[in-house]
Homo-oligomer: A and B are copies of this chain.
Amino acid sequence: MSKPGEAGLRGLADYLASDMSACNRVIVERMQSSVALIPQLAAHLVAAGGKRLRPLLTLAAARLCGYDNQDGRMRHVEIAACVEFIHTATLLHDDVVDESQLRRGLASANAIFGNKASVLVGDFLFARSFQILTADASLDIMAILSAASATLAEGEVMQMTTQNDLSTSVDQYLQVIYGKTAALFAAACEAGAVIGESGPEQREALRLYGANLGMAFQLVDDALDYAADQAVLGKEVGDDFREGKVTLPVLAAYAAGDEADRTFWRRVIEESEQTPDDLPAALECIARTDAIAITLARAEDYAAKAREALVGFADCEIKTLLLDTARYSVSRER
């Protein structure tokens, strides 16, 4: 069984295989440094693979808007690599912040190389991404990606301040996942539209597509943290639970639960007092209150909005694949 979203992504990755190979080459080239630990740590992340979803969105958006790299510059590939560097930098810092031991099913960089190296190599990749942007020389793309980077950091800080706090509203939760995930999805798509020299309407449409797709992906990810097994998810199931992260499955179960449920959630999330029996108890409560279904229904709404955003584009293979990516993001169909 594949993770939701993978079938749609696979189609996109196959169609853009040549662009993605070029992007992977740029990623490896641009993470080089005379300080050996930097490419070593970065290579660990590349080897860990990952879906490369964000750079794929940049490549797809640029192609959808007609970019044919006749300028000989392969701008879409450079900017896609830049988007992946920003994402990788935040992953490195996230894992330090969350003290994660696993990332994409492998030991996380901080677990192998230590927190110091993870913080500093994250900084390096972030700086390097702005060197790539400077070389590309588009002020529009710089504005998009520097704003998304600031929003990303804000989302992470906000997530930190809502941790262990069951009075977090659903709106606040949505703001957190917009910042930590959807903003960079939106920026990745919008930057592709700028590369494709599209007009303001197409640019806005792709921004909306990315933003809504990002919301759907994060909601599904948060649902899976209470509903999937580790082999599928590539991270430790119950991570969010153990960290006291206040995600929609928890908020929904807390809202729909009885007094005993609420006492339970307050102890395990707000007081961070957890025993080994508590994760199964949390899963039972989440199942009984339909909290996963509630979360996935939200994800469906966002995925539908992502699809609607593309209505103005003429039909073509890449549009179909982007529509499929949104559709499959919330289902396990192949």
Residues in B with CB closer than 8 Å to A33 are: 154, 157
Bound-complex Cα distance A37 to B158 (A): 8
Question: How far in angstroms is the closest Cβ of chain B from A316?
Answer: 32
Copies in the complex: 2
From B37, B117, B143, B153, contact of A120 by CB (8 A): B153
The answer to whether A34 has its CB under 8 Å from any CB of chain B is: yes
Interface residues of A in 98-152 (CB under 8 A from B): 115-117, 119-124, 126-128, 130-131, 133-135, 137, 139, 142-143, 146-147, 149-150, 152
Bound-complex Cα distance A150 to B161 (A): 30
Q: A128-B150, A150-B131 are in contact. Are A120 and B35 (CB under 8 A)?
A: no
Question: In the complex the two chains form, is A157's CB within 8 Å of B35's CB?
Answer: yes
Residues in B with CB closer than 8 Å to A126 are: 123, 126-127, 149
Residues in B with CB closer than 8 Å to A116 are: 97, 160
From B37, B123, B143, contact of A134 by CB (8 A): B143
Question: How far in angstroms is the closest Cβ of chain B from A120?
Answer: 5
The answer to whether A75 has its CB under 8 Å from any CB of chain B is: no
The answer to whether A93 has its CB under 8 Å from any CB of chain B is: yes
**Shortest Cβ distance from A131 into B: residue:** B146
The answer to whether A96 has its CB under 8 Å from any CB of chain B is: yes
Residues in B with CB closer than 8 Å to A228 are: none
Per-residue CB contact flags for chain A residues 75-96 toward chain B (1 = under 8 Å, else 0) read 0000000000000011001001
Question: In the complex the two chains form, is B139's CB within 8 Å of A127's CB?
Answer: no
**Shortest Cβ distance from A149 into B: residue:** B127
Question: How far in angstroms is the closest Cβ of chain B from A38?
Answer: 6
Question: How far in angstroms is the closest Cβ of chain B from A289?
Answer: 30
Question: In the complex the two chains form, is B153's CB within 8 Å of A127's CB?
Answer: yes
Chain A to chain B contacts (Cβ below 8 Å), 6 pairs = A35-B161, A36-B161, A96-B119, A123-B153, A128-B150, A134-B142
Not counting A38-B154, A117-B157, A123-B152, a sample of 10 additional A-B residue pairs whose C-beta atoms are within 8 angstroms of each other reads: A35-B158, A38-B157, A89-B123, A117-B160, A123-B126, A126-B126, A127-B146, A131-B143, A133-B146, A135-B143
